[in-house]
Structure 1
Amino acid sequence: MFGRATTPGRGPDRRAVLSGCGVAVIMALLVGGIPGVITGLVAGPAATVLIHRKAARGSHEDRARITADLPFATDLMVACLQAGQPVSAATETAAAAVGGPLGQRLSWVSGQLRLGADPEPAWMALAREPSMGPLARTMSRAAQSGAPVADVLTRLADDARQASRTASLAAARKVGVQAVAPLGLCFLPAFVLLGIIPVVAGLAGGVLLP
């Protein structure tokens, strides 16, 4: 369907492990003999860790972009629905407009709906990803209850905008903290030399000198 999300704090998935094993085998064959076996034993786990970290970074970037794009996508779906388009067409229009990871997932759902799939499981397939959970559950509940989709999406768009603003503020605070830390390290030696050492020297001189 689309790339599996990597959950923070969990170990490498099967794809990373298999890739690491492949690297280990290739390195063992290329080097040959006992040195090749040792090289493979070292290269395999290292490759597994690198692939897992790369996948985790990509998953984090996808979640951040989905969070940022979700308000616009839901607003666009609402506009399409209010114009009389069916859910599948509104979803495909939003997918084409936003693109990226959110567009890929919406396009998949739209394809399932056009093929006649049940809307509830089609949308809930996206709920495995935390960033897609609110939209998936909202659309699934609307399909179950028969509630007007445009109304529930309008409320979701408001919630998504609030979540996006919160994420942006958190990112800005993180950047501020990261910027202050190097400045503190730069000023710390000067503070020690100009503030602490003279005081210590003065106290030591008063104690040691008669």
Structure 2
Amino acid sequence: MGDVLMPLAIVGLILLAGSRNDRIVPFRRMNASASLHIPLILELLAVALRQGSSITRALDTVAQVVDVGLGTAVGKVTASLHQGVAWSESWALVCDDASYVGQACIVLRDTLEASWRLGTSPLPRIEAVISQLNGEQRTRVESQAARLSIRLLLPTALCFLPAFVLLGVIPCISAFAQGLFA
């Protein structure tokens, strides 16, 4: 899945960023029902950071292409960071709820915090979080597939078992009985 997300992220940011100056190519926002997944958002962020953007500039760029709720929340964070508000205080307002926006903001905050405070490259941490989230998603999908196969087995057995008994077992027993009593 990561192999598919990376080219998509690169193309998206190339279209978005255009050049390294502050000019941003206008891009239509996605609606809330078509919200991007958190690993894809992190991939977009990683592409922007690889191109030399600062953390706040990369967050601004990604905020313009994600759904309106998350984009607005990240935009508020970057605006407060530009005003000199501390990292944890900037994220405190948008990470409160348990919705998709709150969860995405918590992941972004936790992923980028060490880089913001210590000045280290955020790319290794972003890649580790993407790998972890993709692994969790894969595990979740596999467990749901296992549950689905069990749920499908019962109706299938209830349909095929009577047919097997009527078409297979009963004729064999009657043929055996005829041979035995004849």
Provide the TM-score with structure 2 as the length reference.
Answer: 0.53
Match of 1:164, SS state, is helix
Q: 2:107 aligns with which of 110, 113, 134?
A: 134
Q: 2:118 aligns with which of 147, 166, 171?
A: 147
Structure 1 contact 119–140 (Cα < 8 Å) conserved: yes
Identity among equivalent pairs (%): 13
Deviations 1:151-175 (A, max 9, x none): 2343133222331243044225424
- Count residues with an aligned counterpart: 139
Structure 2 contact 45–58 (Cα < 8 Å) conserved: no
**Larger relative helix fraction:** 1
Counterpart in 1 of 2:71?
103
Q: How does 1:13-32 map to 2 (within 5 A)?
A: none
Provide the TM-score with structure 1 as the length reference.
Answer: 0.48
Structure 1 contact 124–136 (Cα < 8 Å) conserved: no
2:91 and 2:128 mapped to 1: Cα distance? Answer: 20
Which ranges of structure 2 fall in alignment gaps of 5 or more residues?
1-31, 97-101, 178-182
The RMSD of aligned alpha carbons is 4.0
Structure 2 contact 46–126 (Cα < 8 Å) conserved: no
Query: Residues 91, 162 of structure 1: CA spacing in aligned structure 2 closer, same or farther, 3 A cutoff?
Result: same
Deviations 1:140-190 (A, max 9, x none): 4444xx3125x2343133222331243044225424643663464134222
Query: Residues 168, 102 of structure 1: CA spacing in aligned structure 2 closer, same or farther, 3 A cutoff?
Result: farther
Q: How does 1:17-96 map to 2 (within 5 A)?
A: 65-80=36-51, 83=52, 85-96=53-64
2:158 and 2:127 mapped to 1: Cα distance? Answer: 46
Which ranges of structure 1 fall in alignment gaps of 5 or more residues?
1-57
**Runs of 4+ displaced beyond 6 Å:** 196-200
